Amino acid sequence: MITKFNISAPELRIMPYLVEKIDNLTKPKGSLGRLEELAIQVGTIQQTLTPSLSLPYHIVFGGDHGITAEGVSYSPAEVTPQMIFNFLAGGAGINFLARQHNINIKIVDAGINYDFNGLKNLIDLKVRMGTRNYMNEAAVTLQEMELCLQRGAQVVTDCHEEGCNVISFGEMGIGNTSTSSMWMHLLAGIELEKCVGAGSGFDSEGVKRKLALLQKAKNNYNGDGSIEDVLCYFGGYEMLMTVGAMLKAAELKMVILIDGFIMTNCALAAIKLYPQVAHYFIYGHQGDEYGHKYLLDYLQAKPLLYFGMRLGEGTGAVCAYPLVDSAVRMINEMATFAHAKVTKYFA
């Protein structure tokens, strides 16, 4: 790979001081549970006893997948550009959630098979009009993957330069649960049967057909099995751009909220490339796509929510954002026992 990221784990020397501060707030030790863990993680990432969340951004990357020609998705491919118009009009699930929590949104065309003709407010980083069909050939070339990593990184750099220090990602791309299943299977070594789910709406018979098609695609694969080769051969432009975005966010020491099945597979890919990136991830939720729980277990991740969601777009990550905000408010706004003149009431 040409693209390089300088990612290091956060310095851990500050952790005992964060724990001490939290333990002296006016509450029994550990009584705010995961909020305390989140505060410690954010404080460690930011290397401060007074962490903050500033100008949160949510980036939605869109791309089309050549594998949809095989019938791996319940939804037709034209839904991808249609949903881009919906995002820009403010009518999608991610839009109302972002409005509710005052999160800024950027919509990026990473490789949608549609000519938007310079559509206002759509960030045009299109690599190609959709990927190739990995039933027969590599979906993405190595050069295209490099371009995706670089362009995803630039979007995050732009957000960071505006003052953003907490970021989440979503996707739109019919067929990307299939691509995610292949990454999960080949990068995590989880049986393909556990990686394949209903996507946007298959019934049990549809899932069986999807599994058979993906098994055939795997059998046709004759690459070297390296991380880069797997990401290219079974790649998606919006997913690879997200990987680059995650890696850059970690390099910039930003807090990164991870969404559902597809975004967790992007997190998996990022971890395989740069293991230290995992320190910056907060997993927003466990989605209802079949393989997500298995992948979270593999990553030893502890999602904040389980709401039975499977929309994508980054909705689960944005739903979880207020919990991170609560954790930061806890460590900054709660009084200590000494300051409030409250006697410690626990052992």
Here the CATH number for the domain that contains residue 66 is 3.40.50.10210
Would you say 173 and 79 are in contact if contact means Cβ atoms under 8 Å apart?
Answer: no
Is 205 an annotated catalytic residue? no
Question: 42 lies in a domain?
Answer: no
Question: 150 lies in a domain?
Answer: yes
189 has a pLDDT exceeding 90: yes
Mean pLDDT of the chain: 96
Question: 216 lies in a domain?
Answer: yes
Measuring CA to CA, which residue among 157, 169, 181 is closest to residue 281?
A: 169
Mean pLDDT of 208-220: 95
Q: With both helix axes pointing from N to C terminus, report the angle between 93-100 and 315-333 in degrees, rounded to the nearest 10.
A: 10
Structure tokens at 334: 């709660």
Catalytic-labelled residue, pool 36, 37, 313, 333: 313
Q: Return the bridge partners of 172, or none.
A: 62
Question: 33 lies in a domain?
Answer: no
Q: What share of the chain is helix, strand, coil (3-state, %, to 5)?
A: 50, 10, 40
pLDDT digits (tens, 9 = 90+) for 12-30: 999 999 999 999 999 999 9
> Residue 215 — very low, low, confident or very high, per pLDDT cuts 50/70/90?
very high
For residue 78, what are the CA distances in angstroms to 21, 112, 160?
53, 10, 33
Question: 265 lies in a domain?
Answer: yes
Mean pLDDT of 90-95: 98
Question: 256 lies in a domain?
Answer: yes
Pairing of strands 281-283, 166-172: unpaired
> Residue 1 — very low, low, confident or very high, per pLDDT cuts 50/70/90?
low
Q: Residue count of the chain, please give it.
A: 347
Mean pLDDT of 39-54: 98
Can you tell me the distance from the alpha carbon of 154 to that of 301, in angstroms, rounded to the nearest whole number?
27
pLDDT digits (tens, 9 = 90+) for 113-170: 999 998 999 999 999 999 999 999 999 999 999 999 999 999 999 999 999 999 999 9
What is the number of domains present in the chain?
A: 1
Question: 21 lies in a domain?
Answer: no
Domain span at residue 160?
Answer: 57-323
